[in-house]
Amino acid sequence: MRWITQYLPGEVARELFAARDAGAGGQQQTVILARALGHACFREWGRRAHGPHIVFSDVEFADFSIG
């Protein structure tokens, strides 16, 4: 198991909540989260590494806080 602690902007939370409210399943929400984590961790929000495709699989737990 790997723990990832990463700041994500509020737009990601809004997108996740909107998807949930629209009836999106866990898989679609995982895709949203993977895209955001890929941009944050590997692409630094567009400043580097434009090529990698991020796949997020076997998510057991996600915890969010507003800080």
1 lies in some domain: yes
29 lies in some domain: yes
67 lies in some domain: no
47 lies in some domain: yes
64 lies in some domain: no
The SS3 of residue 6 is coil
* Dihedral sign for Cα atoms in the order 13, 20, 50, 56: positive
What are the tens digits of pLDDT across the range 9-47?
888 889 989 999 999 998 898 888 888 887 777 766 555
Q: Name the DSSP letter for residue 14.
A: H
Instruction: Give the domain range for residue 6.
Output: 1-58
Domain total of the chain: 1
43 lies in some domain: yes
Q: List the end-to-end C-alpha distance of the chain, in Å, as a whole number.
A: 25
What are the tens digits of pLDDT across the range 41-62?
776 655 565 566 666 777 777 7
39 lies in some domain: yes
- Specify the pTM: 0.67
Selection from 32, 49, 28, 37 nearest residue 8 by Cα = 37
